[in-house]
């Protein structure tokens, strides 16, 4: 019988930012890891759960590239082949725009045992924090999650398809092309179509605003909102405010 003398590779979703939104299973994996390779979007507090593990930053940002993906893949192999249990800690959920497939494929080809531990995706966690219902029976009964740009740093063609639907549309990594995205939505919707933008959602550094297609671009500049942000297009974005206004109106009528 062949006995493994290799370590393991576990991809862990760290959630949208609030460290308390990490899953229990994710926490246990962090606590047992020999090495933690972590992204720019994870809350650094999570690293404190394992004081003895080696921590290596492998985060990538638009204007700051620490390691290329091929280098991360090579590092995963190097560490696991030494018999170390490697946790690859990623923001949100590993399988949502997280390049998890590339890292899994590399490990599996080397016959390294792998596991994925789901995390709360940024768009669901942040929407819940702001009480934005991505779906609502009888109104917006489905939702899109679209990347703002493709692998080639081009505007995603899926945005045009999403903008034509009646569904809620969530755009991740879309701030670079915000003006272009808004223009696409204007082709199919009125200028008062609601838009919410939330930067660093669920964290103490959070910034958020509710606007519409006519005002969102200027307001984002005015309030200096940038990446990492989640954009939510559709009536769902305005639902919390609308609900509050209706409650106030009902109370006023009852007096």
Q: Write out the catalytic residue numbers.
A: 39, 60, 173
78-105: burial string, b at 16+ Cβ within 10 Å, e else: ebbeeebbbbbbbbbbbbbbbbbeebbe
Q: Quote the Cα angle for 96-100-101, to 5°.
A: 110
Q: Which helix (H) or strand (E) holds 244?
A: helix 235-254
Name 8's Cβ contacts closer than 8 Å, sequence gap at least 6: 80, 85, 86, 112, 113, 114, 115
User: Ramachandran region of residue 173, left (φ > 0), alpha (ψ -120 to 50) or beta?
Assistant: left
d(CA 77, CA 75): 5
Q: What is the DSSP letter of 204?
A: T
- State the pairing for strand pair 229-233/168-172: antiparallel
Judge whether 103 and 9 are in contact, CB under 8 Å: yes
SS3 57: strand
| Backbone angles phi and psi of 31, in degrees to 5 | -65, -30
Structure tokens at 197: 């933008």
């Amino acid at each position: 019988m062949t006995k493994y003398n290799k370590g393991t590779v576990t991809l862990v979703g760290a959630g949208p930012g609030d460290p308390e939104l990490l899953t229990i299973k994710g926490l246990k994996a962090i606590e047992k890891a020999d090495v933690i390779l972590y992204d720019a979007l994870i809350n650094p507090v999570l690293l404190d759960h394992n004081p003895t593990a080696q921590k290596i930053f492998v985060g990538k940002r638009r204007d700051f590239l620490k390691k290329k993906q091929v280098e991360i893949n090579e590092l995963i192999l190097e560490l696991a082949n030494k018999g170390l249990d490697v946790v690859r800690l990623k923001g949100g959920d590993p399988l949502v725009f997280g390049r998890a497939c590339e890292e899994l494929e590399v490990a599996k080809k080397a016959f390294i045992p792998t596991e994925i531990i789901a995390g709360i995706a940024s768009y669901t966690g942040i929407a819940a924090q702001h009480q934005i219902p991505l779906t609502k029976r009888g109104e917006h009964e489905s939702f899109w999650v679209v990347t703002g740009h493709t692998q080639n740093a081009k505007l995603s063609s899926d945005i045009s398809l999403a903008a034509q639907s009646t569904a809620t549309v969530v755009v991740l990594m879309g701030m670079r092309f915000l003006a272009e995205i808004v223009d696409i939505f204007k082709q199919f919707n009125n200028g008062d179509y609601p838009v919410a933008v939330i930067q660093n959602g669920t964290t103490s550094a959070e910034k958020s605003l509710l606007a519409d297609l006519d005002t969102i671009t200027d307001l984002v500049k005015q309030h200096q909102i940038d990446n990492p942000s989640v954009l939510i297009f559709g009536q769902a974005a305005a639902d919390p405010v609308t609900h509050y206004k209706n409650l106030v109106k009902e109370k006023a009528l009852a007096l």
